[in-house]
Amino acid sequence: MSEARDCEVLASMPKSMNAELRVTRSHYRGRDVVDVRVWFVPKQGGAMIPSGRGVQLEERRLDSLVELLLEAQRATRAAAATSGR
């Protein structure tokens, strides 16, 4: 995302002691995009930086991603219910 400008953090959640999952919004190559990516503290320390682990999509496709995640949630809950977990 080297061409991104005005990256806005919309949400984040811890992944580990040195990493978090961030949802950001920015303008990239002429498009409004949402980025869901792991950010981590480098071994040498300092501020968190984005990793290559993530996905970037046009903002207009965010509803589709939310539906996909809800579908995955329903499937995992159903699987857990049938396996007794």
Q: What is the pLDDT of residues 35-83, one digit of tens each?
A: 999 999 999 999 999 999 999 999 999 999 999 999 999 999 999 999 8
Ranges assigned E (strand) in the chain = 5-16, 19-28, 31-40, 49-58
Classify the C-alpha dihedral 30-36-38-39 as positive or negative: positive
| Amino acid 2: pLDDT | 46
As a CATH number, domain 5-83 is 2.30.31.10
- For 36, the 3-state DSSP assignment is strand
**pTM higher than the cut 0.85:** no
Q: What is the pLDDT of residues 13-35, one digit of tens each?
A: 999 999 999 999 999 999 999 99
Q: What spatial distance separates the first Cα and last Cα of the chain, rounded to whole Å?
A: 40
